[in-house]
């Protein structure tokens, strides 16, 4: 059942709803109490974009980030056409394109019949018909710097949210550990944008419906030569799929394996991984020795899932906090940003009036739930019908005939590039 955007709930009705929360009334030595209209927890793409959009509207907003900087190892770094067009609506794309990045116009996978284009972004009817690959830290620094131009925006780094403040069944803000001890932020609306392991989601007692996927991903890096291809590359090997993303001086490599096979691979030794990489992608054979120890390899257990309900009175979850995506297609950032844009479009007016109702929060979920479900279905289909079938066959990947139809060349690019339907920034 989907959220109804016309639904309303009174404070008394909200208070009567039972949530197994970790809300705490434990007394703390609170060093500071601040007030804002919107408190956003999590400085990833969703939180940063929502902060910027609200700040542009003159709405007081505070962004809390648990870490001291935005730099993370193996964070997602793909920005599709939809994001670039939304940035263009803000007048930011030209400056964004000046930051170091690469462009991918096609997803090409080697098959038993030769190279096959899985998605052709160059055919999109867009001003930006490509997938832009930019280190996420550079993108976040850029967006936050833009938000800091507005005096009603505040950024607090090293703010580790530990508690939600609840009064009469309504979330009224957060308490966090930061510089010197405990601090409190009181807000009309709290937004959880703190990722797949969302602390806000846990504190609110909102249960994620998780779906195990049949794959896991190992992430590692190997040197890249300037004369090597700039496009993203993919190739099936024996029981693995290798995906290479151009990061200028190095390849960021996703080594996709069947679910649960990591321990077996680890026990077999690093040499087995090195040999598998060299056999699957021969051009890397002369540099696999750069993998010297397992701590250079990060395991991402792949799961997907979504909340049945993305909100509580005074609280909204967006991005990975509300729906966990598979890395297939690199769409996680784009869907998170689309969530943020829809949230800003729907909530700006009630936030200005300081009258955010449950129906406004439900309207955000109503607009974003179907696109989320459809892309998760598409990712699941890719897992089962392409990756797992190839793993089980033990033979070189042979694409289904339907993949070779022109319409199927365009559909994946549209789903990845735009989602189910485009999202636009309302001025």
- Residue 387 burial (10 A CB sphere; 0-12, 13-18, 19+): buried
Q: What percent of the chain has pLDDT over 70?
A: 88
More confident residue, 28 or 396: 28
Confidence band of 284 (pLDDT split at 50, 70, 90): very high
Structure-model confidence comparison of residues 106 and 305, the more confident one: 305
Query: Judging by DSSP bridges, how do beta strands 106-111 and 233-237 pair with one another?
Result: parallel
The DSSP output letter for 69 is S
Specify if 157 maps to a domain: yes
Is 288 contained in some domain? Answer: no
Determine the pLDDT at residue 26: 56
- Between 54 and 3, residue with greater pLDDT: 54
State the pLDDT confidence band at 400, using cuts at 50, 70 and 90. Answer: low
Domain count, the chain: 1
The pLDDT of residue 368 is above 90: yes
pLDDT category, 385, cuts 50, 70, 90?
confident
pLDDT digits (tens, 9 = 90+) for 258-273: 998 999 999 999 999 9
For the ranges 83-97, 292-306, 333-347, 388-402, the lowest mean pLDDT is seen at: 388-402
In a domain, 42, yes or no: yes
**Residues 107-114, mean pLDDT to the nearest whole number:** 71
Nearest C-alpha neighbor of 135 from the set 298, 245, 37, 259 = 245
pLDDT: is 285 or 415 the higher one? 285
Place of tokens 């670039």: 84
Domain extent for 405: 11-210+303-418
Give the per-residue pLDDT at 282.
93
- CATH code of 325's domain: 3.50.50.60
Least confident range of 2-6, 274-278, 313-317: 2-6
45 located within any domain = yes
Residue 14 has pLDDT above 60, yes or no: no
Report, as an integer, the average pLDDT of 30-54: 97
- Rounded to the nearest 5 percent, the helix, strand and coil shares of the chain are 35, 30, 35
Residue 5 lies in a domain: no
pLDDT of 72 > 80? The answer is: no
- Whether the pLDDT of residue 48 is over 70: the answer is yes
Average per-residue pLDDT in the chain? 88
Stretch 363-389: mean pLDDT, rounded?
A: 88
- Please state, in angstroms and rounded to a whole number, the distance separating the CA atoms of residues 64 and 57: 19
Q: Where are the beta strands (DSSP E) in 121-204?
A: 131-133, 153-157, 160-167, 170-178, 181-192
How much is the pTM?
A: 0.89
Q: Is residue 51 part of a domain?
A: yes
Residue with tokens 């609280």: 315
In a domain? residue 231: no
Would the pLDDT of 16 be above 70?
no
Burial of 400 (0-12, 13-18, 19+ CB in 10 A): exposed
The verdict on residue 21 lying in a domain is: yes
Per-residue pLDDT band for 4 (boundaries 50, 70, 90) equals: very low
Judge whether residue 111 has pLDDT over 70.
no
pLDDT tens track for 172-224? 999 999 999 999 999 999 999 999 999 999 999 999 998 878 889 999 999 99
């Amino acid at each position: 059942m989907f959220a109804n955007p016309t639904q309303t709930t009174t404070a008394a009705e909200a208070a009567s709803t039972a949530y197994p929360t970790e809300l705490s009334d434990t007394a703390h030595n609170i060093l500071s109490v601040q007030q804002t209209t919107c408190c956003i927890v999590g400085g990833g793409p969703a939180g940063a974009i929502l902060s910027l959009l609200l700040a542009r509207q003159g709405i007081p907003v505070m962004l809390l980030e648990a870490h001291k900087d935005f730099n993370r190892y193996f964070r997602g770094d793909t920005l599709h056409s939809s994001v670039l067009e939304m940035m263009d609506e803000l007048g930011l794309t030209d400056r964004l394109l000046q930051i170091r990045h690469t462009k991918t116009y096609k997803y090409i996978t080697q098959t038993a019949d030769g190279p096959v284009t899985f998605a052709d972004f160059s055919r999109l009817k867009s001003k930006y018909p490509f997938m832009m690959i930019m280190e996420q830290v550079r993108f976040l620094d850029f967006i936050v710097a833009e938000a800091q131009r507005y005096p009603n925006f505040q950024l607090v780094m090293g703010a580790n949210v530990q508690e939600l403040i609840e009064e009469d069944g309504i979330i009224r803000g957060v308490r966090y550990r930061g510089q010197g001890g405990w601090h409190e932020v009181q807000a009309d609306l709290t937004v959880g944008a703190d990722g797949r392991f969302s602390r806000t989601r846990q504190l609110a007692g909102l249960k994620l419906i998780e779906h195990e996927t049949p794959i896991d991903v190992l992430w590692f890096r190997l040197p890249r030569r300037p004369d090597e291809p700039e496009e993203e590359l993919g190739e099936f090997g024996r029981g693995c799929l290798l995906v290479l993303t151009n990061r200028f001086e190095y390849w960021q490599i996703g080594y996709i394996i069947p679910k649960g096979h990591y321990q077996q691979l680890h026990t077999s030794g690093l040499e087995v991984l090195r040999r598998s990489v060299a056999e699957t992608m021969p051009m890397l054979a002369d540099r696999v020795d750069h993998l010297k120890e397992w701590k250079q390899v990060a395991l991402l257990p792949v799961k997907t899932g979504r909340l049945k309900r993305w909100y509580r009175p005074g609280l909204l979850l967006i991005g990975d906090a509300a729906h966990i995506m598979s890395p297939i297609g690199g769409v996680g950032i784009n869907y998170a940003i689309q969530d943020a844009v829809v949230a800003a479009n729907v909530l700006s007016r009630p936030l200005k009036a300081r009258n955010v109702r449950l129906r406004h929060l439900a309207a955000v979920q109503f607009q974003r739930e179907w696109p989320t479900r459809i892309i998760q279905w598409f990712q699941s289909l890719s897992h089962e019908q392409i990756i797992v079938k190839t793993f089980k066959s033990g033979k070189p990947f042979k694409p289904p005939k339907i993949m070779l139809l022109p319409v199927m060349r365009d559909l994946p690019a549209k789903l990845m590039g735009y989602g189910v339907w485009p999202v636009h920034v309302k001025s």
